[in-house]
Amino acid sequence: MTNNNLNFGYEKKPVPGYFLKMGAILAGIGIILIILSLFVDPVRSSFNSLIMFAFMISIALGSIFLIALEYIAGAVWSVPFRRVLEGIGLIIFVVPIFAIPVLLNIHTLFSWTHPEVIATDSILKNKAPYLNTTFFYVRLVAFFALWFLFYYLFTSNSKKQDATGNQALTKRNIKLAAAFLPVFAITISLTAIDWLMALSPHWFSTIFAVYYFAGSVLAALSIWAIISITLNENGILVKGLKSDHYYSFGALLFAFINFWAYIAFSQFMLIWYANLPEETFWYIARGTGSWMYFSIGMIVVHFIVPYIFLLPQPAKMDPKRVKWAAIWILFAHFYDLYWIVMPTLDKNGLSVSWMDFAYLIFGIGLIFVVFSLWSKNRNLVPIGDPKMKQSMEFEL
């Protein structure tokens, strides 16, 4: 296939300047707040850094997953937006920064890292072959190596295709996607177990990894929709993108909101029904005192509001409404992770502090900074992709 890029009328334009400015300002404010929080309450700050690590990694991993999904499902509608997704996925290289404050405070966060705790605890002793610091670091390094590798392979093939329009590269990426998906399933499961479930090392829930996966895909979809729609509003993506294209953003957000609710409810109901003390304590911690209101709030924030908002078809096809839904859901994902992590610290009840948002502001800012720097010398649309023409004519 010859290179017929210009058929799509794509011209390289820089992303709006406020992406970088806003990102830098947010990241700057975030850094200042983080440093302040380290002086005010280092323990609380370490818990916040853990939330943000989980938040950033869910966006990065979710993005790579969505790239792989497009290839393996042969999706057409998403092709013009895939390059944006690749830009968001780049933060996988930034995520290790967020791991540093967590790893520095690993003994504050995770009780299973203390040998004296394990010595007196038969359950932790039995879990020690898996839950020990050496193996934890081995997993961390190995997983990041795998993610870097797959991200690099996907995006370098995609970039090469811009110049050559070589169809074989798409085929190669499809094979790559087939290899990545099982790797993704295992690594994201173990990540969820290592970083979130291990906060209460006695607790276990076999569905927890799926729960984190549902949240991850939602977070990645949200930020992808936010950036894609903003760029298109400014005419930076290719001309001719219609509501038919946005419908899939809306529909996928809606579908994964339902999937998340289904998984969250399944986890709760099975534990509630079985009523085994080694499982219920996790929900008791979240169902007593002020945490109960926070938990009920999560049903509203993470399910009822986006569900009703996205239920009518016109809402899924209107880019403005999809964007608002995506911003809301991104916040809901943060709410969800806060709900998972913070009861371990605030045992006596919910106590929201300004510190809790320091890392969030920093992280969101960083995403925009990384994205605008990355976009400087790249096409924001995969113009060489063989599915591109089909995608421009995509109709529901």
Nearest CA to 392 among 32, 40, 77, 18? Answer: 77
From residue 337 to residue 376, the character string flagging contacts with another protein as x (rule: CB under 8 A) and all else as - is ----------------------------------------
* Binding-residue total with another protein (CB under 8 A): 11
CB 74 within 8 A of CB 93: no
Which residue number, 116 or 395, has a Cβ lying nearer to another protein?
395
Residues 260-319 that bind another protein (CB under 8 A): 265, 268-269, 272-273, 275, 312-314
From residue 181 to residue 220, the character string flagging contacts with another protein as x (rule: CB under 8 A) and all else as - is ----------------------------------------
- How far is CA 8 from each of CA 1, 77, 130, 239, 314, rounded to the nearest angstrom? 16, 15, 52, 7, 27
How far apart are the C-alpha atoms of 195 and 90, rounded to whole Å? 21
Which residue number, 89 or 319, has a Cβ lying nearer to another protein?
319
CB of 395 to another protein, least distance (A): 4
Structure tokens at 42: 């280092």
DSSP string, 83-152: HHHHHHHGGGGTHHHHHHHHHHTHHHH-GGG-HHHHHT-HHHHHHTTTSSHHHHHHHHHHHHHHHHHHHH
Count the neighbouring beta carbons within 10 Å of the beta carbon of residue 324.
Answer: 16
116 part of the interface to another protein, by CB under 8 A: no
| Residue 378: Cβ-neighbour burial (10 angstroms; 0-12, 13-18, 19+) | middle
The string over 29-44, giving b where at least 16 C-beta atoms fall within 10 Å of a residue's C-beta and e elsewhere, is ebeebbeebbeeeeeb
CB of 170 to another protein, least distance (A): 22
CB of 311 to another protein, least distance (A): 8
How far apart are the C-alpha atoms of 80 and 58, rounded to whole Å? 23
Which residue number, 371 or 394, has a Cβ lying nearer to another protein?
394
Which residue number, 220 or 264, has a Cβ lying nearer to another protein?
264
CB of 245 to another protein, least distance (A): 13
The DSSP element (H or E) to which 201 belongs, if any, is none
CB of 152 to another protein, least distance (A): 36
Which residue number, 136 or 283, has a Cβ lying nearer to another protein?
283
Q: Which amino acid is at 182?
A: P
Which residue number, 82 or 316, has a Cβ lying nearer to another protein?
316
Which residue number, 39 or 273, has a Cβ lying nearer to another protein?
273
CB of 272 to another protein, least distance (A): 5
Among 168, 284, 300, 396, binds another protein (CB under 8 A): 396
240 part of the interface to another protein, by CB under 8 A: no
Alpha carbon 285 to its chain centroid, in Å, reads 25
Which residue number, 104 or 270, has a Cβ lying nearer to another protein?
270
CB of 84 to another protein, least distance (A): 24
Q: Which amino acid is at 35?
A: I
CB of 296 to another protein, least distance (A): 12
Binding site for another protein (CB under 8 A): 265, 268-269, 272-273, 275, 312-314, 395-396
